[in-house]
Structure 1
């Protein structure tokens, strides 16, 4: 019996932007997952994803009554959502101060219908790759990670572009390639965006975020949450925060929306590129050595293994232990996070240290503990 408005093919941030005029938004997408997957994302009017509590309530009501046939309302069509999203961004983000050439890899997703157009409206010279929506993702897998960026890297170098941008297929993620065709680490891009937004502000990041953020922004208040954009948004609302983000390339700008918005972030980054030397700024960020890996297992073994791993990690010489998401052990100039994946039967491991050798040794030790625990 609900009143439905169909906005057509659009990015997730566009859907979240439109939802502010409704009671909720529903997005059909598997985001960065391979073509064989599909899913549904639910949004509140402020752009934040549904909380676990809200999702559980829906699950409890799945077997409830449906509306009788004569109470089912018509589906309305609205095809201005993309232009409305673009106009809102143009009002919120200043134009770049110089001409910028940008290559955008839209990953055959819905961002092909908005990001190139937005950046052209901002005065950029835009080269668009894979801008035709195609759910088979013929160019490459839809996750914007190093192994899927070769086409973008080559295009940036071949066209002498200033910057390369890659989205996942629904546009809540963004990663950046510099003019040399090299990927800028997401942790460092997160740090620069945080500084540009408010270097003395309140920032929400997940527990797997680099310590370089703390070193780079000593005057900021940094809050660590569970991994996942809904937890970032929840924390930002709780603390009335200025900026949030994840090392996966999702960034939340509360002054605009509580939805991770890779489209808005693209505009913000292009403007930054016109104001100062971002590549030089990136070099000023304190260097840490990080290793991320995962171990595939079964849910049953993972549950038992996590208990055993936690017992072993408790024996480490540590400064602090956090159980916000899995277990994170902070030591002098190093830390390790071990947590079960929220979407796959894997245990994810993140290790970081000041020295590369220390990071490798710590990672090897923890991997041995996990393999022993899940036997």
Structure 2
């Protein structure tokens, strides 16, 4: 707590924060840090092992946290080991990518310029970095893969939008929701906070999945790559198949390592376009599957 508080610094204005512990490990540490920084802290679901919501805040609607967070205040929801953090602001749950985006905006403010993000992270975060003088490299999905590339490239910060995880090696070389909550709280009401939220609100994601036997995953993805060539300006194959549609739009197809499914994710600066891209590529996945059966 002391090390994090020293890195973040005192917060002016006594901002109001509501912390949804989720019955997990953040119970004492998160409120202690935020209070030490100068926040007014209210907690819910603070009893270990007891919670009105599920263990993963990225998949829960967080209705109790939303109800307990004022319209101009900020809410934080932690998972059980407090490495994932989801933000509630303006009376709504923010996307997992927003957690990373806010952490990245703070890192830029602190002077950091070299970042690594997982390949499924929102393009809005990457564009915000590059427009503010930073550079971005992409890794395979998974915290370990992000960290590995950060080490190889000597990146100063990074993370995974999909898992609501921000990594700041100066403090801790892994996702750290506790530190991130303090960094975000220090931004509340600032131009940086408002800028990144407004910037990211212009992008939309759409996701789907298709049941395909795991023994056909690799063949289906390989055939999909062949079927996608020539249709898109750029295709990236570091983890599944990712097609760059234009500067604001992409689609990613990845096999599951644990289930008989293949996942399709898309993003664009128009929800309709994101859904159309996803549907088009879903049809290509189905076609590719039929061709290798």
- What TM-score, normalized by structure 2, do the two folds share? 0.88
| Alpha-carbon offset, residue 279 of structure 1 | 3.5
Q: Which residue of 1 aligns with 2:141?
A: 227
- Cα deviation code 1:19-58 (max 9, x no counterpart): xxxxxxxxxxxxxxxxxxxxxxxxxxxxxxxxxxxxxxxx
The DSSP-based 3-state class of the residue aligned with 1:223 is strand
Aligned pair 1:193/2:108, yes or no?
Answer: no
The DSSP-based 3-state class of the residue aligned with 1:230 is helix
| Alpha-carbon offset, residue 343 of structure 1 | 4.3
Q: Which residue of 2 aligns with 1:172?
A: 83
| Alpha-carbon offset, residue 264 of structure 1 | 0.7
Aligned pair 1:140/2:53, yes or no?
Answer: yes
The DSSP-based 3-state class of the residue aligned with 2:159 is strand
Q: 1:216, 1:286 within 8 Å by CA — same for their partners in 2?
A: no
| Alpha-carbon offset, residue 351 of structure 1 | 0.9
Q: Which moved more, 1:281-290 or 1:242-251?
A: 281-290
* Shift in alpha-carbon separation, 1:212–1:238, aligned structure 2, 3 A: same
State how far apart, in whole Å, the 2-side matches of 1:343 and 1:268 are.
34
* Shift in alpha-carbon separation, 1:95–1:258, aligned structure 2, 3 A: same
Q: Which residue of 2 aligns with 1:122?
A: 37
> Structure 2 matches for 1:1-375, cutoff 5 A?
86-134=1-49, 138-145=51-58, 147-157=60-70, 162-178=73-89, 180-198=90-108, 201-217=113-129, 218=131, 219-247=133-161, 248-273=163-188, 275-276=190-191, 278-285=193-200, 287-316=202-231, 318-333=232-247, 334-374=249-289
State how far apart, in whole Å, the 1-side matches of 2:137 and 2:5 are.
30
| Alpha-carbon offset, residue 181 of structure 1 | 1.5
| Alpha-carbon offset, residue 286 of structure 1 | 7.2
The DSSP-based 3-state class of the residue aligned with 1:321 is strand
* Shift in alpha-carbon separation, 1:239–1:301, aligned structure 2, 3 A: same
State how far apart, in whole Å, the 2-side matches of 1:223 and 1:153 are.
34
* Shift in alpha-carbon separation, 1:331–1:258, aligned structure 2, 3 A: same
State how far apart, in whole Å, the 1-side matches of 2:137 and 2:40 are.
38
- Cα deviation code 1:86-125 (max 9, x no counterpart): 1221222212111111111111111113112221222222
| Alpha-carbon offset, residue 131 of structure 1 | 1.4
Q: Which moved more, 1:258-267 or 1:340-349?
A: 340-349
Q: 2:99, 2:166 within 8 Å by CA — same for their partners in 1?
A: no
State how far apart, in whole Å, the 1-side matches of 2:55 and 2:36 are.
26
Structure with larger Rg = 1
Report how many residues are paired. Answer: 284
* Shift in alpha-carbon separation, 1:360–1:167, aligned structure 2, 3 A: same
State how far apart, in whole Å, the 2-side matches of 1:321 and 1:115 are.
41
State how far apart, in whole Å, the 2-side matches of 1:103 and 1:239 are.
37
- Could you list the runs of 5+ residues in structure 2 that have no partner in the other structure? none
State how far apart, in whole Å, the 1-side matches of 2:196 and 2:48 are.
35
State how far apart, in whole Å, the 2-side matches of 1:345 and 1:87 are.
46
* Shift in alpha-carbon separation, 1:141–1:299, aligned structure 2, 3 A: same
- What TM-score, normalized by structure 1, do the two folds share? 0.70
State how far apart, in whole Å, the 1-side matches of 2:200 and 2:55 are.
29
Q: 2:12, 2:38 within 8 Å by CA — same for their partners in 1?
A: no
State how far apart, in whole Å, the 2-side matches of 1:284 and 1:311 are.
35
- Cα deviation code 1:210-232 (max 9, x no counterpart): 22223323221100000111111
